[in-house]
Amino acid sequence: MTFLVGLTGGIGSGKSTVAELFAQRGVALVDTDAIAHALTRPQGAAMAPIRLAFGDGVIGADGALDRAGMRSLVFSDRSAKAKLEAILHPLIRQQSAALCAAATDAPYVLLVVPLLVEAGGYRERADRILVVDCTEAVQISRVVARSGLTADAVKAIMATQASRSERCSAADDLVLNDGGLAALQPQVEALHLRYLQLACDKAHAGR
């Protein structure tokens, strides 16, 4: 079994930025957000069950999920959220497991799961849990700059996610991302060397 690092962090913490630094070092990335997007594209594997559960109202003219429509439905109706997750989460778990298992050429796999702490089925699969951490104020200002959402809208999204302390207490390793990009490189390099060693130990133990 390939050595698996589960990467998580709150919205705007810098998960994608950190994941890219690992990818530059030859690590295989499996991104559950990208899988969720693919599942909800026109003809995506989740679209037939979504149509059945919610009707045509949440489906755009192109046959893909109407993300804005779904987001507002989910915000106003908790049962809609649970219903959507019951469709998407098993498919995401299944596909991410298949992609992780297929990444045999890489020294190890980084599985990016925004809701790793919140969703079941990931923590137990990962050999290490890596959390990208920054202050809530930094999260808010990054997401506002990136998306144009208001600070209140970002806070509302953050309120649906695990708290900073919940996430950090689930972590085996932390990347602190309050500063600039230059501060990330040495942290990623040190973790990468550590993971290469642990991956090697795991491969030898499995022989």
Q: Which residues bind ligand ADP (CB under 6 A)?
A: 9, 11-17, 142, 146, 177, 180-181, 184
At its nearest, how many Å lie between ligand ADP and the CB of residue 49? 27
- Closest to ligand ADP by CB, 45 vs 144, is 144
The residues, any chain, with a CB within 8 Å of residue 128's CB and separated by 6 or more, are 4, 5, 6, 172, 173, 195, 198
Q: Residue 14: which H helix or E strand, with range? A: none
- Asked if residue 64 lies in contact with residue 44, where contact means CB atoms within 8 angstroms, the answer is yes
Count the neighbouring beta carbons within 10 Å of the beta carbon of residue 35: 24
- Asked if residue 196 lies in contact with residue 45, where contact means CB atoms within 8 angstroms, the answer is no
Q: Give the residue numbers of the binding site for ATP.
A: 12-17
* 38 alpha carbon, distance to own chain's centre: 14
Pick from 117, 120, 143: nearest CA to 16: 143
What is the C-alpha separation between 22 and 70, in angstroms, rounded?
32
Q: Residue 112 in 3-state DSSP?
A: strand
Pick from 76, 80, 86, 88: nearest CA to 38: 88
- Asked if residue 53 lies in contact with residue 87, where contact means CB atoms within 8 angstroms, the answer is yes
